[in-house]
Amino acid sequence: MNTQLYNPFEVLQRQIREAARILNLDDATTEFLLWPQRELKVTFPVRLSDGGVRVFHGYRIHYNTARGPAKGGIRFHPDETVDTIRALAGWMVWKTALIDLPLGGAKGGVICNPRLLTENDLEAIARAYVRATFQFLGPDKDVPAPDVYTNPQTMAWMMDEYESLLQTHQPGVFTDKPQQIGGTEGRRDATARGGIFAVREACKQYGVNPHGRFAIQGFGNAGQRAALLHADVLGGGKLVAVCDSKGGIYNEHGLDPDALVTYKLKTGSVVGFPNAQPIPRDAVLELDVDVLYPAALENAINADNAHNIKAKIVCELANGPTTPEADSILYTRGIHVIPDILASAGGVTVSYFEMVQNKSMYFWDEKTVHERLKEKITKAYQTMIEAMEEKKVHPRLAAMVVAVARVAQACKLRGWV
């Protein structure tokens, strides 16, 4: 099987159909949930720092706004496609619904290669994108955040451009901003922290040792934060293996997370880390550990390797790291998967907290943010477990059943279907 053939939007639609079947949704509601409500394709010219003008293409997609304003990231990526944006926008809908946030889901992107652009070029593209999508955006309409190859600085530029067009302060129109201009405490590590809160509940639910061995596939922002936070949040734990795009490393006696993150930031890779054994990148997935964090690419766990997974708990910090076939295999084998729409929901949850703080002009301390994040993730996890037990389905389908039911109900209450 070639896992690269998976179209993420087709995977999303398959998940929706399965949840709709279990919920006995009518045909009209199901069909409505299978497609984005609004799609904007934009083309805009930008004068770059070399003096030349280049034309860029971008998207902003509102998948569903029945429960509230659209919420979702903006990515700058050379291989962006409309189906990827559609799928990610859809997963944002289910993510916000599962966590029970009063938000819908969106996603956006610009087709470009940030590695070949200067800082001034990136600012020019960010501002041009806001001008092109301005009518789609607003604190009560659509609130973007960073995604792949964008960051808080990108959001600062975009917020400034939006406010310049509107001629008024609207800090709540973008989230994950620098704290000096309306960002919130606790956002930097929110995705990983939320995932680890879910792992804590899973350890309780299934009798897994929270202080055992763990491994991380992918060592970008989420993977690094998971390495640093796992033992702190759970009260213990031994990191034994990590990989990034260049290779993997292993030490059965444990890797020092702080030293490893420092080494990665300095050298650009985990490869060559002192006192660690080199291993193939994909081997990290198949190690005998208590918790595995897939935090890299989609389709990493698939029908080809699912039978070799030995972790007791798989916490998906990446989007779509497990294929539908692998979900069934892992469930049958008794391996508990915390699906991405729950495991990586910490980011959007704290982004929602930022929206609330921007509206009230009152900011919380970091402890308050962490406590409220823990409360949201814990409640969503227990709701998913209840759906698993009631419907006798695997965790991803249980999470989808909860989320799809909530969105469908909102659509019906509004009289849309």
| DSSP assignment string, 79-139 | T--HHHHHHHHHHHHHHHHHTT-S--EEEEEEE--GGGS-HHHHHHHHHHHHHHHGGG-BT
What tens digit of pLDDT does each residue of 275-321 get?
999 999 999 999 999 999 999 978 899 999 999 999 999 999 998 89
- Write down the pLDDT at residue 101: 98
Give catalytic status of residue 107 as yes or no: yes
What tens digit of pLDDT does each residue of 256-267 get?
999 999 999 999
Task: Given the residues 41, 71, 95, 107, select the one marked as catalytic.
Answer: 107
Indicate the CATH number of 38-181 among 3.50.50.60, 3.40.50.10860, 2.40.280.10, 3.30.450.40. Answer: 3.40.50.10860
Q: What is the C-alpha to C-alpha distance for residues 106 and 136, in angstroms, rounded to an integer?
A: 11
What tens digit of pLDDT does each residue of 46-87 get?
999 999 999 999 999 999 999 999 999 999 999 999 999 999
Confidence of residue 351 (pLDDT cuts 50, 70, 90): very high
In the chain, CATH 3.40.50.10860 sits at: 38-181
Which fold does the domain 190-343 belong to in CATH?
A: Rossmann fold (3.40.50)
CB 43 within 8 A of CB 82: no
Confidence of residue 5 (pLDDT cuts 50, 70, 90): low
What tens digit of pLDDT does each residue of 98-137 get?
999 999 999 999 999 999 999 999 999 999 999 999 999 9
**Chain position carrying tokens 């055992």:** 212
What is the bridge-based pairing of β-strands 142-146 and 70-77?
A: parallel
Q: What is the C-alpha to C-alpha distance for residues 328 and 356, in angstroms, rounded to an integer?
A: 38
In the chain, CATH 3.40.50.720 sits at: 190-343
